[in-house]
């Protein structure tokens, strides 16, 4: 197993020629690694754009991997053969998101109420209000006030 980071993949030392080693076949690390045809796991692939002009991705392809597994939680639209999708809302609702600061509004008079963000597509957000064992669903667009969900949540508007 070889663990390598973007700094090393892009290092000029990967192309430096030296004495022939490994049965006198290879004189630089790129050729030696490419001959093995590695199975690659790319952690946090969103850091490595896959367009042809991207330096790191180009250097990864020079290693001639037989398979590339892009393992991450954040993908743009440049993926294919997706095995599992975990959206930001799913990660948030499942308690998997790290480093998130949450603003919690004190709900005066609404102690028996809970509001949950169900989904968001950038244009509107879907919320679920659970109050006294009754569930209601609300859709709010950008700029709308959360007071529409519950009067105890005032002066908060949908921004992003």
pLDDT in tens, 2-37: 778 888 888 888 878 776 655 678 888 888 889 999
pLDDT in tens, 23-73: 678 888 888 889 999 998 888 887 777 776 788 888 999 999 999 888 876
What is the model's pLDDT at position 121? 84
Q: How many CA atoms lie within 13 A of 96 on its CB side?
A: 10
Whole-angstrom Cα distance, residue 150 to residue 107?
9
What value, to the nearest 5°, has the Cα angle with vertex 96 and ends 77 and 125?
60
In contact, 139 and 124? CB cutoff 8 Å: yes
Given a cut of 90, is residue 139 above it in pLDDT? yes
> In the chain, pLDDT over 70 holds for what percent of residues?
81
Identify each DSSP E strand in the chain by its residue range.
Answer: 39-43, 67-71, 113-120, 124-131, 134-141
């Amino acid at each position: 197993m070889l663990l390598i980071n973007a700094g090393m993949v892009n290092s000029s030392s990967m192309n430096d020629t030296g004495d022939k080693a490994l049965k006198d076949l290879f004189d630089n690390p790129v050729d030696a690694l490419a001959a093995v045809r590695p199975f690659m796991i790319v952690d946090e692939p969103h850091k490595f754009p896959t367009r042809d002009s991207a330096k790191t991705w180009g250097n990864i392809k020079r290693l001639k991997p037989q398979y590339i597994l892009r393992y991450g939680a954040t993908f743009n639209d440049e993926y294919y053969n997706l095995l599992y999708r975990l959206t930001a809302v799913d990660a948030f609702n499942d308690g998997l998101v790290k480093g998130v600061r949450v603003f919690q509004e004190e709900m005066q008079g609404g102690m028996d109420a809970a509001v949950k963000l169900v989904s968001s597509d950038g244009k509107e957000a879907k919320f679920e209000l659970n109050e006294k064992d009754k569930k209601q669903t609300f859709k709010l667009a950008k700029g709308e006030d959360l007071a529409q969900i519950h009067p105890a949540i005032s002066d908060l508007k949908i921004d992003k």
